[in-house]
Amino acid sequence: MSASYISPNSELPATGFLILLVCLAFVGVTFTLLCVFERERWRMYAVLGVIASVLILFAAFLLIGTGTVQSGGTLTPCPTALQGIQLEPVPGKDLPGGIAECRDISQRNAVFAGVATVLGVGIAVGGILSRQRCARSAVSR
C-alpha cells in the first residue's frame, strides 16, 4: 500500500468473477438445452449462445484490468477493475496521476463489463422466451 492512496481489502473482486462464472454457466446450459430441444433452429441458438458467451468473456477480460498506465514517463501498475474502483486518496492528499487514471479506467471498464454481462444474460433469457413463444404458437395451430 502506498502512502498516497488506500486500497481496501474486500471480497468484491472474487464476488464479481464468481458472478461472471455463474452467468457464463447459465448461458452455456441454456443454449445447450435450446439446441438439443429445438432441433429445427439449433443453428440460430448456437450462434446466439456463442455471442452471449463472448460478451460475458469480454466482461471478464475488462474486469482483469489494463495492467499498467504510463504517467509522467513512468509505468504505474493497475489493479483489476473491481479493485481499482475502490482506490481512495488518503485524507488530505490527492491521488497520484497514474493511480487516478487507473481508477478512472477501472470505473469505465466495470460499467462496460456490467453492460456486456447484462446483454449476454439478456440474450439467453430472450432465447428461452422465444422458445416458449414458438411452443405456444405451435400448440395453438
Question: pLDDT digits over 38-91, tens only?
Answer: 888 899 999 999 999 999 999 999 998 777 888 777 888 888 888 888 888 888
**Which segments of 2-128 are extended strands (E)?**
5-6, 68-71, 74-77, 88-89
What pTM was estimated for this model as a whole?
0.83
Hey, how many other C-beta atoms are within 10 angstroms of the C-beta on 78?
Answer: 22
Q: Are 105 and 77 in contact (CB under 8 A)?
A: no
Q: What's the rounded Cα separation, in Å, for the pair 69 and 97?
A: 10
